[in-house]
Chain A
Amino acid sequence: MTLHDQNYNFGYLDEQTKRMVRRALLKALAIPGYQVPFASREMPMPYGWGTGGVQVTAACLTPEDTLKVIDQGADDTTNAVSIRKFFQRTAGVAVTEHTEQASLIQTRHRIPETPLTEGQILVYQVPIPEPLRFLEPRETETRRMHALEDYGLMYVKLYEDIAHNGEISTAYAYPVKVEGRYVMDPSPIPRFDNPKLESAAIQLFGAGREQRIYALPPYCQVVSLDFEDHPFEASKADHDCDLCGCATSYLDEIIVDDAGGRMFICSDTDFCAGRQAAGHIGRLSGKDTA
């Protein structure tokens, strides 16, 4: 018998790395919103392409998992396709584009429209985990500010938004406070998705270049920061989806010609396709827009 359990080496990472990442994940789940340092490894892709998310995904995958990968809500963009293929090849897991069939979803910059359920894991790719970074460049100081719950500076940012734009104009990576304790950057998801951060699923955040992991356990409290007289609002484009007619999903704006023509479609491709299959139609359904 060998000292090493081969199952532990499943999914690209070596056993020791997997243990290390899992330990960081457990700690992150135990302290919601707290950034746990971890020894991020080189991945076979450049920083900024999701190396943090990939390591978290690899550390969580088991042979029974079904994986879905999305990039800005879509299953069919380069980044999503290549990460999905990467795990198909290195772990041999089943893959899907259907949110409800996936046990593990890796995402870049979106939360699926279909509500997640208990037992699912959502892994975020995070470029800059530190919400205070652009206000306070010193890492030593931001860590102390988290330790002392010294978050006045975060409100300075929101104050500046209102002073210069008349409203809180931060549209993505909108800061949240987790369980009344840590202020957290939810990764560059649109603020439309912020309410979905309170979820039945486990949410894990991996920042490869910055070597940080943080997490939201199921059902933990996540509050978007705001002012009493300028409350948080989850905003979206004021249109319905032109393909499935949905009035409540987050939309992408697409320029379709040189004459100012444009259309709005769901950013979540699986959600939109599901609605179209169920017979929902939008303004441009059935027309050739390509």
Chain B
Amino acid sequence: MEMTIINSVLSLGGVGLLLGLGLGLASKKLAVEEDPRLAYLVAVLPGANCGGCGVAGCAAFARGLLNGSTKPNGCPVGGADCTAKISDILGIEAVLGEKQVAYIRCNGDDDVTRSNYEYYGLLDCTAATHLVGGGSKACTFACLGGGNCVSACQFNAINIVNGIAVVDKEKCTSCGACVPSCPKALIDLIPYKSIVTVACNSKAPGKIVRQNCSVGCISCKLCEKACEYDAIHVVDNIAKVDYAKCTYCNECVKKCPSATINSTTFENPKKQKPQEKKVAENAAASPQTTDSPAKKQTPPEPQTEALKKEGTEGKKVE
């Protein structure tokens, strides 16, 4: 009896001691020399491990800070306070000014963009995109309003308004979760301060854009000519603002014939007109379409072909 007790205590204790010693030695010998700043960084992060920054947990984010794969202002939960502390630890200047927001490069809501058909399927952009013509909207680049980005957003910053997604600039934490959720790749992170934005992503030629949408970029290059600061360029049939150069003078906004370029500091008079016109046109046009259905049906075919061509060309270039 005593023997059993002694044996069991000794064997279990012995094995435990052996394993403990082994582990202790191993942890010494296999110790990975970690950056001493890592512990401090982990301490200032919120520790919620929410993944809002795009990496798996706060510790991974801290490691990313040290090797450069994540940015000090990348934590949406910690905010400016956290960024300041991180910058302090890393010994760099806090770049709070670079607050970013998500921006959806499509302005084509249900009033201004033509639809090829009505979509009653699954309320999901990915599902809708796989249909003929890349969704119900005539423009293959348009936001379908299925709400993939809405469900991707943890902060309720995106809403579907009149058939397109709209970002609430104040609620947006620039976590970037919505960016990969859009099957049309419409969402960009742009500087919070950027007043001037191009609300279109159509790489189709101007003629086709004009057929499909009254607020699309028709690549007329008037904005390029209007800009004194070389800050806006039409590349691949779409105007793009270089925010490093833009001074927000609103010259391009005034010149844009289809009111694609938006500015928060300039009320575009064209903006209201086309919509009203369009509504009036629609009302007038509806009896016409019933009169001549053949005429109405012919344009979409060459148009989709042209778009396809456009798509394949784009792929080849890539």
Q: Do A and B come from one complex?
A: no
Which residues on B are within 8 Å of A, measured CB to CB?
none
